[in-house]
Amino acid sequence: MQQQPDTAVTKWVVILAWIAGFGLVTFVFAELLESQFNPNRSPSSSMIGNRVEVVLEQNRQGHYVASGTINNVPVVFLIDTGATDVAIPAHMGEILGLTPGRQAYAQTANGIVTVAETMIDEISLGGITMKNVAANLNPGMREQKILLGMSFLRQVEFSQKDKTLILRTL
């Protein structure tokens, strides 16, 4: 006489297999989407004479997005030559060890907003590291991306060719 498999156990094994499969697919696609959004998760750096050079690839939307650090905390930068200073979502200020200072007004794509001025002790992108860089904490920014503005970019030479952006220390 053969025993019938326990249908409740079989049902749960199938459900758990589907959940594990769905989780794996979600993980793989999330990684793929992240690499398309940020193709510069580990920006390449090289020394050209006594200057550091960082080469960034454009993402699928035509933006330059790159991973870096602020005060040794990993962040994601969106290169923005239209931003006067480095613009940081206000909710990230404490995590990054930034102290809000004087209130100021900033003209953004969404209009004029009140921001808090601050100073970044150390900011790094690839092999380029700078100290005491002006920034602002913007309460209108909701995402985790930081706009890498001209307070950083004016301290490097940058040029664009095809779909790459080259940053070189001065």
Three-class DSSP labels, 125-157: ECCEEEEEEEEEEECCCCCCEEEECHHHHCCEE
Averaged pLDDT for residues 89-101: 97
Q: Is the pLDDT of residue 45 over 60?
A: yes
Percent of the chain with pLDDT over 90: 75
* Local confidence band at 105 (pLDDT 50, 70, 90 cut-offs): very high
Are 135 and 86 in contact, with CB atoms under 8 Å apart? yes
Neighbour tally for 84: CB within 10 Å: 15
The single residue listed with the structure tokens 């209108």 is 140
The pLDDT of residue 5: 59
For the cut 60, the answer to whether the pLDDT of residue 121 exceeds it is: yes
Beta-ladder partners of 157? 168
Best CA proximity match to 80, nearest among 128, 169, 151 = 151
DSSP 1: -
User: Domain containing 138 — which CATH number?
Assistant: 2.40.70.10
* Same domain as 125, residue 164: yes
Q: What is the pLDDT of residue 28?
A: 52
Q: Are residues 57 and 8 in the same domain?
A: no
Q: Does residue 162 surpass a pLDDT of 80?
A: yes
Sheet holding 156-161, edge to edge: 44-48, 51-57, 164-169, 156-161
Residues 65 and 121 in one domain: yes
What are the distances in angstroms from CA 170 to CA 10, 134, 138, 158?
A: 66, 18, 29, 10
What is the share, in percent, of the chain residues with pLDDT greater than 70? 88
Question: Which stretch of 11-15, 27-31, 37-41, 48-52 has the lowest confidence by average pLDDT?
Answer: 27-31
Domain count, the chain: 2
Indicate if 93 and 159 belong to the same structural domain. yes
Q: Are residues 19 and 93 in the same domain?
A: no
Geometric angle at alpha carbon 68, from 106 and 104, rounded to 5°: 15
Residue 36 has pLDDT above 70, yes or no: no
Task: For residue 23, give its domain range.
Answer: 1-37
Q: Averaged over 122-134, what is the pLDDT?
A: 98
Residue 92 in this model has a pLDDT that exceeds 80: yes
Alpha carbon of residue 122 to chain centroid = 16
Examine the domain organization and report whether 59 and 33 are in the same domain.
no
| Eight-class DSSP state of 4 | P
